[in-house]
Every structure is written in structure tokens, then in C-alpha cells.
Structure 1
Amino acid sequence: MVENFNELKQQFIALGSWQQRYRELMLLGKTLPVMANELKVDEAKVAGCESNVWMYIDFTPQEDQLLIIADSDTRIVKGLLAVILLMYRDKTPAQILAIDAEKEFDELGLLKHLSPSRGNGIRAIVQQINAFAEQHL
């Protein structure tokens, strides 16, 4: 299991084909903690996603970090969420806002293989995280 986003990035770049990256994405999705059904409420849904995506974001002032948990009802989106969560793990709001998530997904070779609606879903998730980070600068 990868420990951080840079490790994940190196691993994905080393994979040759889209099929290998897709398989790795599915395996990453299995690493997400299961979200309790009680938390899968409409208020937690991310608007703009084709699949159901539930996300909670909190801010821990003592560590100056965002805490993000998320889940989806589809395997591919769970894998994409795992990538996003690794990208933002242990980051301050300022560090989060400095990340160009679209560029990172492009470098991983993922965006060009996703449907436009999945790409829009990724953007919606990132926008929600960025908006929360802006509130806690």
C-alpha cells in the first residue's frame, strides 16, 4: 500500500498501460475505509458527480490541517477518491490551495481515460475541498 501521493505518482507513472492503471485504481478504492450508512445522507453528497459521492471535511486548528473522509457507490470513483485523499492528506489549507489537482490527475494519466462526466465529478470534489480550505486559511 502506498503511503503518500508522491509514492502513488511514481507507482502510476511506472505502470505502462491504462489497463494496469485502471486495475491499480480499483485496488486503491478497496483501501478506503467504509463509510457508515448513517453518514450517507443527501447533505453529504457532492453535487456534480455522476455516481453517488459522500464527503465530509473538517478542520483541525491545532494541526492546521483538513480532515477529509469520502465514499462512493462505484469502484472506479472509490479509487479516484483514494487518489484525491492521498493528494490532500496531512496538508494545511494553504498547501491544499496550492495543489493543481487537474495537473496531477493528468500526470497520473487518468483524465484522458475518464468520461467527461467523471472528470467533472473530480472537479466538483476538488472544488468543494478548495472552498472549505479557503474558509480556513
Structure 2
Amino acid sequence: MNTASPSAEQAQQDIAEEFAFFGDWSERYQYLIDLGRQLPPFPEECKTEEHRVHGCQSMVWLVPSGDAAKMHFAATSDSAIVSGLIALVLRVYSGRPAAEIVATEPEFVQSIGLAKHLSPTRSNGLAAMLAKLKGYAAQALA
């Protein structure tokens, strides 16, 4: 059995397929909340201003680790739905080379209909989180 994690592109396709199982958005939101609950515990000491993602209505913290060859991200939020969004973002972007992170567009946001179903503040927050994550990757490449 191949235990290597799928590429960012494959991860996005997998996410689209998972969300296609659910008939309506109330089920999809519930699935997002469930995904958020499965995030690994986030260290309290990392909930600092330095790691905070600005532009989110809810509190979000994002911590990078690793180097350009392989970057990892830990993140958390005080919002259940935003935690679910974080889980999706980490599936696509964490554990990858910085160059792949920078080059990968978050197509899953469109493909699962998130763009249409998130409030403007949540959409802005997701964009801010992705920008910060890609910023960390760009720094690692620099």
C-alpha cells in the first residue's frame, strides 16, 4: 500500500469528491465542523500575535515549520467552521515543498462551492490564511 501523501493536486481532487457525497450545504458544513474537530491539538504558547492571521473575523493562528524542501503548518481557530477550512487548507498545503505550495492555487475553494457558501468575512479570512501560508513558503524559498 502506498502511504506517500497525495500531491497537492490529488488532495484537492479528493476534497472535491468527498464534498460531492453531500447533498446539501447543511451536511457540508457539518462535515467541515467534523474535519475541524480532528485537527491536532494546537500549543497554547503558539497563540501569539506573531502567528495570528489578520483579516479573519474569528481568531486564527498559523505556525510554519520545516524548510523549503518540506514545509509543515499547524493552525487553529476559535470557530468550528473555520477550523474545518483550516483542515482542508492543511491537507492541500502542509508537508509539501515550498515551491509546490507557492505554485498551487486553492482550486478546492471553487470546486466544492465554498466560494459561494462562505460569508464575505469568512472568504476574506480564508484568503488571508492562504496568503500568509504562501508568504511563509515564499520566504523559505528566498
- In structure 1, the partner of 2:132 is 128
**CA distance in 1: counterparts of 2:108 and 2:40, whole angstroms:** 23
Deviating 4+ runs (over 2 angstroms): 3-9
What is residue 95 of structure 1 aligned with on the other side? 100
| Counterpart for residue 16 of structure 2 | 9
Q: What secondary structure is seen at the aligned counterpart in 2 of 1:94?
A: helix
Structure 2, gaps ≥5 residues long: none
1:9-65 C-alpha deviation (Å, 9 max, x unpaired): 21112222111111110110011012122221222111111100011012335xx11
**What's the C-alpha RMSD, in Å, of the aligned pairs?**
1.5
Q: Percent identity?
A: 35
The letter of the residue matching 1:33 is: P
Residue 35 (structure 1) aligned to one of 42, 67, 76: 42
How far residue 88 of structure 1 moved from its aligned partner, in angstroms, is 0.7
Q: Which moved more, 1:23-32 or 1:41-50?
A: 41-50
What is the CA–CA distance in structure 2 between the aligned matches of 1:29 and 1:121, rounded to whole Å? 16
The alignment of Structure 1 onto Structure 2 pairs a total of residues equal to 132
- What is the rounded CA distance, in whole Å, between the counterparts of 2:65 and 2:136 in structure 1? 8
Show the counterpart of 1:82: 87
Q: Is 1:104–2:108 an aligned residue pair?
A: yes
Structure 1: runs of 5 or more not aligned: none
Q: Is the 8 A contact 2:66 2:72 kept in 1?
A: yes
* Aligned-residue offset at 1:8: 2.5
Q: Check the 8 A contact 2:73/2:95 in 1, yes or no.
A: no
Q: Residue 57 of structure 1 aligns with which residue?
A: 64
The alignment's TM-score, normalised by the length of structure 1, stands at 0.88
Distance 1:52 1:23 in 2: 20
Go from structure 1 to structure 2 and tell me whether the alpha carbon gap of 1:39 and 1:136 turns closer, same or farther (over 3 Å shift). Answer: closer
